[in-house]
Amino acid sequence: MFKKLAVIGCGLIGGSFALALKKAKLVDHVIGFSSTQATLMRAKAGGVIDEMSTSLEQTVRGADLVLVAIPVQSIGQCFKEIREFIDPGALLMDVGSTKQDVEAYAVAFLGDKLSQFVPSHPIAGKEKSGVDHASADLFRNRSLILTPLAQTKPALVETARLIWSTIGSRVHLMSSCDHDNAFAAVSHLPHLIAFAFMNGLIDQPNHEQLLSVAGPGFRDFSRIAASDPVVWRDIFFSNKENLKKQARLFCASLQTLEQLIEEENSDALIKIIELSRSSRSNWHID
């Protein structure tokens, strides 16, 4: 049980975390920080937070649990500003989608509080963002990755694991390096491909006719092509090297398939599609 949860950034993820901890009776009091007064008002009115704050010092002081739920590129500055106010016993977490950059910010700016930081990445989201869409069940039956540093206190890693599993997440541990490589492969590359696919389509003069016959396969394949531009620019820039590596592997694989089609090499093509079919069929989401 935590006395005071400080949520820095009252968006969909920060708000849902607050609601989930309240629902699980893991927290007494929630203070929310936002630089936007309207967001704070909506978070307070919706029962997401108990106290509004526009001061990082006031938010973090006395909190035994601090969640930084802001865009990754703002996390470094935030760490710099909150370091001195973090309680020596507090657990500090973030929710960024990339972890090597967050780890670098932590090493650079958290100083003597570095051992209290457990980097986290909940694999949850909605098509709609903002605190109005926050839900206590957002993390239920979803994966949650912790990427503790060598310096992180093991007891705090266990506490973090307990919190996330109590609110329904399936917790995985890996290094920030493995994390960023894995997400380049299964999330960032699919988004890059989906954006490229939609642009390749829209650039064709008869794209309205093309789209008029698109069916359920197109619907599912291209759903992520509607994702947020700023979020994805940040992820692409931040995980550039892993993404480039995954894109190279994909393009090589695509070229192989195109070659087999060109040659009408039936056996080899069926073998490759069958491998795709069976591995995708055997995959199950958490």
- What is the closest distance, in whole angstroms, from the C-beta atom of residue 196 to a second copy in the complex? 4
Among positions 216-235, residues that touch a second copy (CB under 8 A) are 216-230, 232-233
Tell me: does residue 205 bind a second copy (CB under 8 A): no
Which residues are 120's β-sheet partners? 146
Q: Which is nearer to a second copy, 1 or 262 (CB)?
A: 262
> How far apart (Å, rounded) are the C-alpha atoms in residues 95 and 156?
16
Binding segment toward a second copy, per CB under 8 A, in 24-32, 40-48, 104-112, 270-278: 270-278
Tell me: does residue 166 bind a second copy (CB under 8 A): no
Number of residues engaging a second copy in binding (CB under 8 A): 91
Among 7, 12, 194, 242, binds a second copy (CB under 8 A): 194
Among 21, 210, 242, 259, binds a second copy (CB under 8 A): 210
Tell me: does residue 3 bind a second copy (CB under 8 A): no
Q: What is the DSSP letter of 149?
A: -
Which residues are 53's β-sheet partners? 33
Backbone angles phi, psi at 120, to 5 degrees: -135, 150
- CA atoms within a 13 Å half-sphere pointing along the CA-CB vector of 125: 14
Tell me: does residue 107 bind a second copy (CB under 8 A): no
Tell me: does residue 171 bind a second copy (CB under 8 A): no
Tell me: does residue 182 bind a second copy (CB under 8 A): yes
Residues 6 or more apart from 111 whose CB is under 8 A from it? 83
| Other Cβ atoms closer than 10 A to 163 | 26
Tell me: does residue 201 bind a second copy (CB under 8 A): yes
Among positions 113-132, residues that touch a second copy (CB under 8 A) are 123-125
- What is the closest distance, in whole angstroms, from the C-beta atom of residue 70 to a second copy in the complex? 19
Q: Helices 189-202 and 229-238 sit at what angle, rounded to 10 degrees?
A: 130
Q: Which is nearer to a second copy, 151 or 253 (CB)?
A: 253
Residue 111 region, left (φ>0) first, then alpha (ψ -120 to 50), else beta? left
Among positions 244-263, residues that touch a second copy (CB under 8 A) are 244, 246-247, 249-254, 256-258, 261-262
| Residue 121 CA to its chain's centroid (Å) | 5
- What is the closest distance, in whole angstroms, from the C-beta atom of residue 81 to a second copy in the complex? 24
Among positions 42-61, residues that touch a second copy (CB under 8 A) are none
- For the chain, the residue count is 286
Provide the token pair at 172: 């995985």
Q: Helices 240-262 and 266-282 sit at what angle, rounded to 10 degrees?
A: 140
